[in-house]
Structure 1
Amino acid sequence: MEHERLKQLEEMEQNYEHAVPEKVTDDIAYYRTLLTNVVMIGAPDQDWVLIDTSLKRYQQRIIHACEERYGNKPPKAIILTHGHFDHSGSARKLAEYWNVPIYVHEKEMDYVTGKESYPPGDPTVGGGIISILSVIFPTQPEHLEKFVQPLPSDGSVPFLEDWHYIETPGHSKGHISFFREKDRVLIAGDAISTEKPESSWSILFPIQHIYGPPAYFTEDWVEAGNSVKKIAELKPSIVIAGHGLPMDGEEMQEELEELADNFIEKAIPKHRKYH
Structure 2
Amino acid sequence: MDSNISYGDDYKFIPATSIASGTGMEVLPGIYYHTIQIVNICLVGEPGSNEFVLIDAGMPHSADKITSVIEERFGADSRPRAIILTHGHFDHVGGIVELVNKWKVPVYAHSLEIPFLTGTESYPDPDTSVEGGMISKMSAMFPTDPINLAGNVKELPSDGTIPHMPGFRWIHTPGHSPGHVSLFRDKDGALIAGDAFVTVKQEYLYKVLTQEQEISGPPRYLTTDWVAAKESVKKLAELNPKVAVTGHGLPMSGDLLTSSLNVLVKDFEQIAIPGYGKYVDKPKQ
Tell me the TM-score normalized by structure 1: 0.91
1:61 pairs, out of 65, 68, 86, with 65
Q: Which consecutive unaligned segments of at least 5 residues does structure 1 have?
A: 1-17
User: Residue 44 of structure 1 aligns to which amino acid in structure 2?
Assistant: P
CA shift at 1:19, angstroms? 4.5
Give the letter for the 1:62 counterpart.
Answer: I
1:196 aligns with 2:201: yes
What amino acid maps onto 2:129 in structure 1?
T
* SS at structure 2 position matched to 1:61: helix
Residue by residue over 1:168-191, the C-alpha shift from the partner in whole angstroms, topping out at 9 and shown as x without a partner, is 000000000000000001000000
Question: Which structure would you say has the larger RCO, counting Cα contacts within 8 Å and 6 or more residues apart?
Answer: 2
Tell me what 1:38 maps to. 41
Query: Which amino acid in structure 2 is aligned with residue 58 of structure 1?
Result: S
Classify the secondary structure of the residue corresponding to 2:137. Answer: helix
Letter in 1 for 2:265: A
- Partners of 1:25 and 1:141 lie apart in 2 by 34
What is the CA–CA distance in structure 2 between the aligned matches of 1:217 and 1:109, rounded to whole Å?
18
Cα offsets for 1:107-127 (capped at 9, x unmatched): 000111111111000012232
In structure 1, distance between residues paired with 2:24 and 2:72: 7
The residue number in structure 1 matching 2:17 is none
Deviation for aligned residue 1:209: 1.8
CA pair 253-239 structure 1, distance change in 2 beyond 3 A = same
The count of aligned residue pairs is 259
CA distance in 2, matches of 1:113, 1:98: 19
**TM-score normalised by L of structure 2:** 0.88
Distance 1:75 1:249 in 2: 29
Q: Contact 2:195 / 2:219 at 8 angstroms: preserved in 1?
A: yes
- The yes-or-no answer on 1:70 pairing with 2:74 is yes
Partner of 2:168: 163
- 1:113-165 CA distances to partner (integer Å, 9 max, x unpaired)? 11111100001223211100112211123211141111111111001111000
- The 5 A counterparts of 1:91-240 are 91-240=96-245
Could you say what secondary structure the match of 1:255 adopts? Answer: helix
User: Distance between the aligned counterparts of 1:114 and 1:87, measured in 2?
Assistant: 16
* Distance across 2 between alignment mates of 1:93 and 1:261: 42
1:49 is aligned to 53
Q: Which amino acid aligns with 2:72?
A: E
Q: Match for 2:248 among 227, 243, 250?
A: 243
Q: Deviations over 1:213-257 (max 9, x none)?
A: 000000100000000000000111001000001111102210111
Counterpart CA distance in 2 for 1:259 and 1:162 is 27
Aligned partner of 1:4 in structure 2 is: none
For residues 256-275 of structure 1, the aligned pairs below 5 Å read 256-274=261-279, 275=283
Distance in 1 (CA, whole Å) between partners of 2:107 and 2:146 is 13
Runs (4+) of structure 1 exceeding 3 A deviation are: 18-21
Could you tell me whether the CA contact under 8 Å between 2:56 and 2:83 is conserved in 1? yes
1:91, CA displacement in angstroms?
Answer: 1.1
**2:36 maps to amino acid:** T
Tell me if structure 1 keeps the 8 A contact 2:131–2:275: no
Return the alpha-carbon distance in structure 2 between the equivalents of residues 33 and 73 of structure 1: 19
